[in-house]
């Protein structure tokens, strides 16, 4: 299946089961406007924000994830001022869950049942289409979604923070590092930067 076809499926997805668990779909415009090519590091995040205009790839509006991730990349030694820089370095980002989740009208982490449903429908296919050289899992939602992917393939991994492991995706070896959600409140942005830097070095050594 082609990338555009997967994204069109995502745009229209609106499952009753998900709506009953706090999901606000369909994703509509909250899909990457670019087709990924030659991705060095794929960042897997949580879910898009409730406000569609604040989605990671919509640069005309403020997005906390984009701002924080670009800051962390700067700490890791990359000059990333905008999405053009981000993409030109071979970076790409996908949310684990394609619709925003909310509790009491505010953004909230998606439930595990939602993560499972969405990862199996979409994320697994996206990852296998992209075949990235490296994957950085940003936070618990991404950890759980990728763990499901490994389990489906009969693989096991501890998903220990900062510990890089290797997995084959579509006939290509990929390095994977579980990391933290890039939020300044936990004061561990430096750790995320080290995780990304270590992953980048592993990927470049394999090139």
- Which helix (H) or strand (E) element contains residue 147? helix 140-152
* pLDDT tens string 165-195: 999 998 999 999 999 999 999 999 999 999 9
Instruction: Tell me the CATH number at 118.
Output: 3.40.470.10
Structure token digits, residue 21: 């668990």
* pLDDT tens string 107-137: 778 999 999 999 999 999 999 999 999 999 9
Task: Specify the pLDDT at position 105.
Answer: 72
Number of domains the chain is built from = 1
Task: Specify the pLDDT at position 162.
Answer: 96
Ramachandran region of residue 199, left (φ > 0), alpha (ψ -120 to 50) or beta? alpha
Host domain of residue 63: 3-206
Distances, alpha carbon 6 to alpha carbons 12, 37, 92, 131, in Å: 10, 15, 16, 15
Contact 135, 127 (CB under 8 A): yes
Which phi and psi angles does 121 have, rounded to 5°?
-75, -35
Taking the CA atoms of residue 104, residue 65, residue 203 and residue 152 in that order, the dihedral angle to the nearest 10 degrees is 10
Q: Quick one: how many helices (H) and strands (E) in the chain? A: 8, 7
Contact 115, 145 (CB under 8 A): yes
Task: Specify the pLDDT at position 17.
Answer: 84
Low-confidence stretches of the chain (pLDDT < 50) are none
């Amino acid at each position: 299946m082609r990338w555009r076809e997967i994204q069109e499926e995502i745009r229209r997805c609106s499952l009753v089961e998900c709506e009953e668990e706090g999901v606000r779909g369909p994703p509509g415009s909250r899909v990457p406007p670019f087709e990924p090519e030659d991705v060095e590091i794929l960042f897997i995040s949580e879910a898009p924000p409730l406000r569609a205009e604040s989605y990671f790839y919509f640069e005309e509006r403020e997005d906390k994830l984009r701002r924080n991730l670009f800051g962390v990349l700067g700490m890791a030694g990359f000059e990333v001022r905008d999405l053009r820089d981000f993409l030109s370095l071979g970076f790409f980002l996908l949310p684990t869950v394609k619709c925003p989740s909310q509790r009491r009208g505010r953004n909230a982490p998606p439930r595990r049942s939602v993560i499972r449903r969405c990862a199996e429908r979409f994320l697994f296919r996206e990852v296998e289409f992209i075949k990235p050289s490296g994957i950085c899992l940003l936070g618990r939602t991404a950890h759980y979604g990728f763990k499901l992917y490994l389990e489906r393939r009969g693989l096991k991994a501890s998903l220990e923070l900062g510990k890089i492991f290797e997995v084959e995706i579509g006939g290509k070896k990929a390095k994977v590092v579980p990391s933290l959600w890039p939020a300044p409140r936990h004061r561990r942005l430096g750790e995320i930067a080290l995780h990304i830097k270590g992953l980048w070095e592993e990927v470049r050594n394999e090139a």
